[in-house]
Structure 1
Amino acid sequence: MRTFILFVILFSLVSCEKGKETLPKIDSHAVSSKSKSPKKLSFDEQLKAIKKGTSKDSVLSNDIEFINNFILKRKFKLDISKYDAEGKKKECDPIRLQKKLFNEFYNEGFNNLGDLNGDKKADSVFVLHALNYCEEGDSYYFTDNSIPRISTDSNCCHPTSIINIGDINEDGKSEIAEYYSSCASRYKAITIYSLKTNKWKKIKSFSFVLNEKYTIDKDFKKLFKKTSKNHLKYFVISDITIDDKLVTEWKNIRID
């Protein structure tokens, strides 16, 4: 019995030694040597490498030439330089997208909202995918580059999800409402924005639960009523009871 146990121990030791011999040998000098470590590319160099490695049937999400020529059909020239600068500052890589999917994504075109900023020119809204990996979802862009985009964390954005609700505070600029969808949940939201010094100021968000009585396509504009200068009523659909009754309420808000 003792002889058997001794044999097992010796066999285990030999096996362990053989296992160690099969492990790769690491040259500690090579690891610690700065001269042999690979050169770290700058962010601009990384971007060039990403663009160079993009196949002909794909395009980068921030390829403004492709966006202007093939997505926007040269109807106007979009400027995304300030958003690109933000991404570059955070070192956020652009996203590779197949051109086919890129085109399918933007086939909804533009939604004419009328004059938003008081320059007597009609403004339209359209949707673009995230420009880089740091952005969480789609963004709404406007055909006037002085009007800032509205970024979201949703991938279910549509041009018709933005509406002009009129100049509530009578400052010569129209307020807008955005219908927000997380794609899956029946609980949605509507957010009111006001344009202040070329920035969108978020005024209020409220609930819109999907239901059979009111739909966003047909009834979006019925959810808002201007009562006087600076004052707006909005219709909240917060829930549905067990017996299918809507929990609703008109609420008042002031927009200065």
Structure 2
Amino acid sequence: MKKLFIILIILCIGCKRNNEKPKKVISKPKITTTLSYKEQLQAIKKGTSKDSILSNDIQFINDSILKGKFKLDISNYEIESIKKECYPIRLHRKMFDEFYNEGFNNLGDLNGDKKADSVFVLHALNYCEEGDSYYFTDNNIPRIITDSNCCHPTSIINIGDIDEDGKSEIAEYYSSCASRYKAITIYSLKNNKWKEIKSFSFVLNDQYTIENDFKKLFKKISKNNLKYFVISDITENGKLVTSWEKIKIE
């Protein structure tokens, strides 16, 4: 009886281990507190193998990811990284190839300079950032940081100049990857910074999809006034719980 009890315990432990989800392995550089930030960074660079790239390697990003179509400047973001002592992440080259194959999404003129602006997605630059970020092909337009790793260039759209200040407002489709409850956030470019105006629900459904209907979810009523379509839930009978809401953008 005692032997049977011991065998049962071993089996239970084995089942528990087999049910655990495998953890995503990221090459996190070792940090030595006796070294300065710059010294630590140099040590991390030296310890990076040829088949890996640091997440903030701007030369690699410009040459191999953006391929000369646009030259990204991350110097302002790097200043913040140094202040907070946020170290870059080691990423495998294959991950870059798989991650950045979606290219650019042309949004038209966002900041009123008569030039078309496009958006693209990059991985977190360092360990202080929790998710991907949206970057624009004008270094004067600030990036939008997220805590999601399910960002795509098509998840940003130009919804027009609602407040008629010569700059277009945008909407971001936010996905946490797993849940069917998503969100859409409206931003306005104010004083060279993105101001979050409103965030509302978008529940995944068969009637409306982001791919086909994203632009249909917004209607300008008049100067500063916008209508947006909320899909907040689905009933047990499969009926969508929806409403048109109004917001003022100033």
Structure 2 match to 1:120: 114
From 37, 43, 58, give the equivalent of 2:52: 58
Partner Cα separation in structure 1 for residue 150 and residue 33 of structure 2: 41
Alignment partner of 1:103 is 2:97: yes
Q: Does 1:151 align with 2:149?
A: no
Identity between Structure 1 and Structure 2 (%): 82
Partner in structure 2 of residue 177 of structure 1: 171
Q: Structure 2 counterpart of 1:223, which letter?
A: L
Structure 2 vs 1, CA of residues 128 and 39 (structure 1 numbering), >3 Å: closer, same or farther? closer
CA distance in 2, matches of 1:39, 1:196: 39
What is the CA deviation profile of residues 98-117 of structure 1, one whole-angstrom value per residue up to 9, with x for unaligned ones? 01111110000000000000
- After superposition, the CA RMSD in angstroms is 0.9
Which of 72, 92, 97 matches 2:66? Answer: 72
Deviations 1:75-115 (A, max 9, x none): 11100011111111111110000011111100000000000
Instruction: List aligned pairs for 1:217-236, cutoff 5 A.
Output: 217-236=211-230
Amino acid of the structure 1 residue aligned with 2:194: W
Equivalent residue runs for 1:121-136 within 5 Å: 121-136=115-130
After superposition, what is the alpha-carbon deviation per residue over 1:191-235, rounded to whole angstroms, capped at 9, x for unaligned? 000000100000000000000000000000000000101000000
Query: What amino acid maps onto 2:87 in structure 1?
Result: D
Distance 2:170 2:79 in 1: 27
Cα distance in structure 2, aligned partners of 1:151 and 1:109: 18
TM-score normalized with structure 2 length: 0.87
1:142 and 2:136 correspond: yes
Give the unaligned 5+ runs of structure 1.
1-37
What letter is aligned with 2:224?
N
Aligned to 1:86: 80
Deviating beyond 3 angstroms after TM superposition, the runs of 4 or more aligned structure 1 residues are none
- What is aligned with 1:3? none
Point out where structure 2 has 5 or more consecutive residues left out of the alignment. 1-31
Mapped to 2, the partners of 1:138 and 1:76 lie a distance apart of 19
Q: Which amino acid aligns with 1:246?
A: L
Greater shift in the superposed pair: 123-132 or 83-92: 83-92
Deviations 1:42-82 (A, max 9, x none): 11000000001100110000000000000000111100011
Q: Which residue is equivalent to 2:201?
A: 207
**Secondary structure in 1 aligned to 2:67?**
coil
Point out the more displaced range, 206-215 or 79-88: 79-88
Question: For 2:106, what is the secondary structure of its paired residue?
Answer: strand
Task: For residue 179 of structure 2, give the secondary structure of its aligned residue in structure 1.
Answer: coil
Q: 1:166 aligns with which of 160, 163, 187?
A: 160
Corresponding residue SS for 1:248 = strand
Give SS of 1:233's match.
strand
**Structure 1 Cα separation of the partners of residues 37 and 249 of structure 2:** 43
Query: Residue 165 of structure 2 aligns to a residue in which SS?
Result: coil
Normalising by structure 1, what TM-score? 0.85
